[in-house]
Amino acid sequence: MLAQQFQALETQRLEILTYLRKYSWEKLNSAPAGQWSANQVLAHLITAEKLSLQYMKKKMLGIHEATDTTWLEEVRMLVFTWSQRLPLRYKAPPLVVERMPNYPAFEALLMDWDLARAELKTLLETIPGNLLKRRILKHPVAGRINIRHAMQFFSEHIIHHQHQLNRLLA
């Protein structure tokens, strides 16, 4: 199941990168006043994934002590999913904004995301099936969620920001 979620997530990422490759670096870095550029949106997505991955790797060290998620987290994830699909704007968590890099070239951005995804794939391969419901990530909205929820968060986060990328590059 995690392998399928990862593959779907990778497909999403590759579709976005294919879409963005047709634009110049200058276009990807241009932004309307008070808004992020397309590259800043991508930096945000990458940073959110990397920070989440860092947190999950740390939680894996004590995974046997973590508790399982319940129906409450399932409901929270449903609400989160709906919130990401609505055309609403949300402030990014300050930690994510503070750590967003300024990529010097598209290739650097791509390499950073490739490395993060390779680390994610490795992490997913190390989680035993009997521990998939363990609370492994602390999400600002959904609370403490399991690895399946984390993968869902990554996917919904991309969907949410795809609309923003479309607006910026139209």
The DSSP secondary structure of 129-167, one letter per residue, reads GGGTTB--EEETTTEEE-HHHHHHHHHHHHHHHHHHHHH
Q: How far apart are CA 170 and CA 153, in angstroms?
A: 26
> What are 54-111's pLDDT values in tens digits?
999 999 999 999 999 999 999 999 988 888 887 777 778 788 888 899 999 999 999 9
> What are 103-151's pLDDT values in tens digits?
999 999 999 999 999 999 999 999 999 999 999 999 888 889 999 999 9
